[in-house]
């Protein structure tokens, strides 16, 4: 599903250059649930943003579901992003003046789906994350865990090949974090490929493989025995 080879990325600020990714090689098969670990500043988000086509590497190759991601114009990139990728962020990134239902339906609007169909689809995904009764609520009327569930429904609505989650539990208390990880595990059980960036060891062990980043390189990449999130609650 994902194959990256010798990926490098530097940030240039003024005359300074910060070499963040120093030759990353890694691949992910369909159906995997992988965590990307590393201390703050180790380049986790940089890597995830490149995988998510929100940013581009300086050198190296990236193949996503058989498509080489290179020199795409903004329109092509947006099309692939919609087709292949769903995003979940620490800060949820919901639109504050739109209801839960409208937040989930919005990506489908951008894809040109007719209103009736996109509302039905959005409702089905809200049901899936257990929030059917909250569809008319605004984000600030929802708890943190509920907001992240809405964001997960939104990410799933366009049926992406891969879900990319950047610290999805970073703003949540422990119990709520585990509930969100339970949902992520359920979605992976259905066969969806998921990458989770986290700096928390317990969260990483709820995935099936841990990739450890340090000083711009992968220093460890190992399968782990998955801990079911709700065993911890
Ligand atoms: P992590 O997600 O692991 O905390 P990041 O990938 O966000 O790390 O950042 C890696 C390093 O790159 C950090 O030192 C950060 O300050 C720097 N960095 C991240 N984004 C930018 C940017 N847009 N411009 C300049 N430096 C950046
Ligand atoms: Mg980060």
Residues with CB under 5 A from ligand 2 (ion): 44-45
Residue nearest to atom 7 of ligand 1 (CA): 45
Q: Which CATH number fits the domain that encloses residue 126?
A: 3.40.50.300
- pLDDT at residue 71, as a whole number: 85
The pLDDT of residue 141: 98
Residue 29 CA to ligand 2 center (angstroms) comes to 23
Our mutation pick for probing the ligand 1 site, out of 18, 199, 213, counting the most ligand atoms within 8 A of Cβ, is 18
Q: Confirm whether 210 is domain-assigned.
A: yes
Cα 45 to ligand 2 centre (Å): 4
Range(s) of the domain holding residue 91: 30-44+73-232
Q: Is residue 83 a part of any domain in this protein?
A: yes
Ligand number, closest to the Cα atom of 36: 1
User: Cα angle vertex 170, ends 149, 4, to 5°?
Assistant: 90
The answer as to whether 24 is a domain residue is no
Please give the Cα distance from 1 to 103 (Å, whole number).
Answer: 28
Ligand 1 atom closest to the Cα of residue 197 is 2
Q: Cα(148) to centroid of ligand 2, in Å?
A: 17
Q: Tell me which of 11, 21, 36, 217 to substitute to probe ligand 1's pocket, judged by most ligand atoms within 8 Å of the beta carbon.
A: 11
pTM for the complete prediction?
Answer: 0.96
Whether 21 maps to a domain, the answer reads: no
pLDDT (tens, 9 = 90+) of the chain, 233 residues, equals 999 999 999 999 899 999 999 999 999 999 999 999 999 999 999 999 999 999 999 999 999 999 999 988 888 888 899 889 999 999 999 999 999 999 999 999 988 999 999 999 999 999 999 999 999 999 999 999 999 999 999 999 999 999 999 999 999 999 999 999 999 999 999 999 999 999 999 999 999 999 999 999 999 999 999 999 998 66
- 53 inside domain: no
In the sheet with 33-37, reading across from the earlier edge strand, the strands are 85-89, 162-166, 193-197, 33-37, 209-214, 217-223
Tell me how many domains the chain contains: 1
**Residue 96 belongs to a domain:** yes
Residues 89 and 152: their CA atoms lie apart, in Å, by 9
Output the residue whose Cα is nearest ligand 1's atom 17: 41
Q: What is the pLDDT of residue 233?
A: 67
Residues near 93 by beta carbon (within 8 Å), at least 6 away in sequence: 87, 151
SS3 132: helix
With a 6 Å cutoff on the Cβ, whether 13 touches ligand 1 is: yes
Calpha distance 126→151 (Å, rounded): 10
121 C-alpha to ligand 1 centroid (Å): 36
Report whether residue 40 contacts ligand 1, using a CB cutoff of 6 Å: yes
Q: Is residue 58 one of the residues assigned to a domain? A: no
**Nearest protein Cα to ligand 1, atom 21:** 11
The answer to whether residue 124 is domain-embedded is yes
């Amino acid at each position: 599903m994902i194959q990256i080879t010798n990926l490098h990325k530097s940030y240039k600020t003024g005359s300074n250059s910060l070499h963040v990714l120093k030759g990353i090689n890694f691949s992910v098969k369909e159906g995997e649930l992988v965590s990307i670990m590393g201390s703050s500043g180790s380049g986790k988000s940089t890597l995830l943003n490149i995988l998510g086509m929100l940013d581009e590497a300086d050198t190296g190759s990236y193949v996503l579901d058989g498509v080489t991601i290179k020199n795409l114009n903004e329109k092509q990139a947006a099309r692939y992003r919609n087709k292949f990728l769903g995003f979940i962020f620490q800060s949820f990134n919901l639109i504050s003046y739109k209801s839960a239902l409208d937040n989930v339906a919005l990506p489908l609007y951008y894809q040109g789906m007719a209103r009736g169909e996109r509302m039905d689809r959005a409702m089905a995904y809200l049901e899936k994350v257990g929030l059917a009764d909250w569809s008319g609520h605004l984000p600030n009327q929802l708890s943190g865990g509920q907001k992240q569930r809405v964001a997960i429904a939104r990410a799933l609505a366009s049926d992406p090949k891969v879900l990319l989650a950047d610290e999805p539990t970073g703003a949540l208390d422990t119990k709520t974090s585990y509930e969100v990880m339970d949902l992520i595990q359920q979605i992976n059980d259905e066969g969806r490929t998921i990458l989770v960036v986290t700096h928390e060891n317990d969260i990483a062990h709820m995935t099936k493989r841990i990739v450890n980043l340090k000083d711009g390189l992968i220093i460890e990449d190992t399968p782990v025995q998955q801990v079911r999130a709700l065993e911890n609650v």
